Amino acid sequence: MSTREINIAPDITALSRMGADEVVRCAKESIAARGGFTIALSGGSTPQGAHALLAEYKDLPWNKVHIFFGDDRHVPPDDKDSNYRAARESLLSKINIPPENVHRIKTELDAQEAAQQYEQELNTFFQLPAGEWPRLDLIMLGMGPDGHTASLFPGTAALNENSRWVVANRVEKLKTWRITFTFPLINHATEILYLVNGDDKAQVLKDVLENPDKNLYPTQRVQPVNGKMLWVIEKGAARLLNDLK
């Protein structure tokens, strides 16, 4: 059984606090229940504030946390566009986490190789029987103004990938390759946390949340198989939403 909860934040600062607090709540719950916590960070600008606040939780047993990435750009890890670099600067460099607990997508490789290597890294970590999907405790996601999520952009091949966990995805409009989790991997998470900020996303977000059956945007295909979906939405991005109960 899956649940959906929507929380509106008055501004990006409050969104960041709400996002960080939810990650910590989920981490403590997972560590208490199973002795560890697996999280995939999302890219873009919105989560950076939450990452920075997470770095303040020094009492979190970071040695029991494993950090993955839901996607990354096909650029070197020290490139200004790298999601890994952004997370390293906002969070990873500030916490006492064993290096082997940070699972970076090796974007310096050929895009297809990077995707295959990451899929193998997930496989080695989760040690699952063939055919079983890894179930991350928490996957953080954002949504672009075109309704993309992770690196699952409208009109791209990865939207139709239903058997692989991670793929290289050509995003023609950006003239670039991305490496991304696929929908089934995302949808098997125990919890999906969306952080959405920005007036420019209001109409698409309204369609995503209020017209789910229309399947207009990639974000609408994020539907947990058996998990919780929590939306933390900044007021501007939420301005067109009906009074959601």
Could you say which of 16, 38, 42, 219 contacts ligand 6PG (CB under 6 A)? 42
Could you say which of 18, 40, 43, 233 contacts ligand 6PG (CB under 6 A)? 43
Count of residues interacting with ligand 6PG (CB under 6 A):
15
Residue pair 87/51 in contact (Cβ under 8 Å)? The answer is yes
Is residue 83 within the footprint of ligand 6PG (CB under 6 A)? yes
Could you say which of 50, 68, 71, 234 contacts ligand 6PG (CB under 6 A)? 71
Distance of alpha carbon 27 from alpha carbon 34, whole angstroms: 10
CB-wise, 83 or 90, nearer to ligand 6PG? 83
Give residue 244's Cα distance to chain centre. 24
Within 129-168, the residues that bind ligand 6PG by CB under 6 A are 142-144, 148-151
Within 184-223, the residues that bind ligand 6PG by CB under 6 A are 198
CB-wise, 13 or 45, nearer to ligand 6PG? 45
CB-wise, 60 or 150, nearer to ligand 6PG? 150
Is residue 49 within the footprint of ligand 6PG (CB under 6 A)? no
- In the complex, minimum distance from the CB of residue 129 to ligand 6PG, in angstroms, rounded to a whole number: 30
- Joined together, the tokens standing for residue 215 give 């399947």
Q: In 14-149, which ranges are E strands?
A: 37-41, 65-69, 71-73, 138-141
Helices (H), 172-241: 183-187, 202-210
Beta strands 176-181 and 166-171 are antiparallel
Could you say which of 46, 82, 169, 219 contacts ligand 6PG (CB under 6 A)? 46
Distance of alpha carbon 11 from alpha carbon 124, whole angstroms: 40
- In the complex, minimum distance from the CB of residue 182 to ligand 6PG, in angstroms, rounded to a whole number: 14
Is residue 82 within the footprint of ligand 6PG (CB under 6 A)? no
Residue pair 138/186 in contact (Cβ under 8 Å)? The answer is no
Distance of alpha carbon 166 from alpha carbon 112, whole angstroms: 10
| Beta-carbon contacts of residue 230 (< 8 Å; ≥ 6 apart) | 4, 5, 6, 7, 22, 191, 192, 193, 194
- In the complex, minimum distance from the CB of residue 58 to ligand 6PG, in angstroms, rounded to a whole number: 26
CB-wise, 61 or 236, nearer to ligand 6PG? 236
Helices (H), 171-232: 183-187, 202-210
Contacting residues toward ligand 6PG, per CB under 6 A: 42-46, 71, 83, 142-144, 148-151, 198
